[in-house]
């Protein structure tokens, strides 16, 4: 799959795939705070909790940043992944990391304003059953993103949605279309596991 992104200011330090086929593979990031990639240890904890849910999953990586969540899932046996972000610079990193891991044939990149809507995935088939959502902290994006995800009709009834956020922007009660199934705290970061209400 060919994309039109330019690889600017990349660095290849500090971020790695934690498990699966590409374990230990370094991922590219951008210097600065644009992408704020999830730390390796936190990502490892999340995937340890998900366990068997990753194998053969159809993955959606929202606010994808470096693409670490989606690529980690592909490394661990997910069937495919769609990466969505509003930043072309961030998506250039996703593209570079996808190429580095040679998962182009199982990946799709979409430039889109997630907070506005998710019409870009309304026709996706098969539907997503594993969703990662890591929006910029404390920017009020979680509720809109969850509503748009629900309204897209693109997730399975038993889908697992993982949201990374802070205690200043709680997920429980943010969107009545979903229910909280589990929540873990890692320092100042909260990881909420939610599922659709049908």
152: pLDDT strictly greater than 90: yes
The residue among 170 and 71 whose pLDDT is bigger is 71
Dihedral over alpha carbons 191, 192, 193, 194 (to 10 degrees): -160
Mean pLDDT over 143-161 rounds to 96
> How many CA atoms does the CB half-sphere of 22 hold within 13 Å?
24
User: Strands across the sheet with 128-133, in order?
Assistant: 107-111, 80-85, 58-62, 128-133, 155-166, 189-196, 178-186
10: pLDDT strictly greater than 70: no
Give me the pLDDT at residue 1, please: 41
Give me the pLDDT at residue 36, please: 58
Lowest mean pLDDT among 136-140, 141-145, 190-194: 136-140
Give me the pLDDT at residue 37, please: 75
Mean pLDDT over 163-172 rounds to 88
**Cβ burial, residue 19 (10 Å; 0-12/13-18/19+):** middle
- For helices 68-75 and 40-50, give the axis angle rounded to 10 degrees: 50
Give me the pLDDT at residue 9, please: 45
**Residue ranges of E strands in the chain:** 58-62, 80-85, 107-111, 128-133, 155-166, 178-186, 189-196
Mean pLDDT over 115-141 rounds to 95
Three-state DSSP at 96 gives helix
Mean pLDDT over 156-166 rounds to 96
Answer yes or no: CATH 3.30.750.24 is held by domain 40-196. Answer: no
Which pLDDT tens digit goes with each residue over 15-47?
Answer: 899 999 999 999 999 876 555 577 889 999 999
Q: Distance between CA atoms of 150 and 114, rounded to whole angstroms?
A: 12
Whole-number average pLDDT of the chain:
90
- For helices 68-75 and 88-100, give the axis angle rounded to 10 degrees: 20
DSSP state string for 38-81: PPHHHHHHHHHHHGGGSTT-EEEEET-TT-HHHHHHHHTT-SEE
3: pLDDT strictly greater than 60: no
Does pTM top 0.85 for this prediction? yes
Domain edges within the chain: 40-196
Q: Distance between CA atoms of 129 and 139, rounded to whole angstroms?
A: 26
Produce one character per residue of 156-174: b if its CB has 16 or more CB atoms within 10 Å, e if not.
beebbbbbbbeeebebeeb
Mean pLDDT over 127-135 rounds to 97
């Amino acid at each position: 799959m060919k994309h039109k992104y330019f690889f600017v200011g990349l660095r290849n330090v500090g971020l790695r795939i934690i498990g699966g086929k590409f374990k230990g593979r370094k991922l590219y990031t951008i210097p600065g705070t644009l992408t704020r990639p999830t730390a390796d240890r936190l990502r490892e904890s999340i995937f340890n909790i998900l366990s068997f849910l990753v194998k053969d999953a159809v993955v959606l990586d929202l606010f994808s940043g470096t693409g670490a969540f989606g690529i980690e899932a592909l490394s661990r046996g997910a069937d495919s992944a769609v990466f969505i972000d509003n930043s072309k610079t961030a998506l250039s990193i996703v593209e570079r990391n996808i190429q580095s891991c040679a998962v182009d044939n199982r990946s799709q990149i979409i430039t889109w304003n997630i907070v506005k809507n998710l019409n870009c995935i309304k026709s996706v088939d098969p539907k997503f059953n594993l969703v990662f959502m890591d929006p910029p902290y404390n920017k009020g994006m979680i509720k809109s993103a969850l509503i748009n995800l629900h309204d897209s009709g693109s997730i399975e009834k038993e889908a697992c949605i993982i949201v990374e956020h802070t205690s200043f922007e709680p997920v429980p009660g943010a969107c009545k279309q979903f229910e909280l199934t589990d929540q873990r705290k890692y320092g100042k970061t909260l990881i909420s596991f939610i599922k659709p209400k049908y």
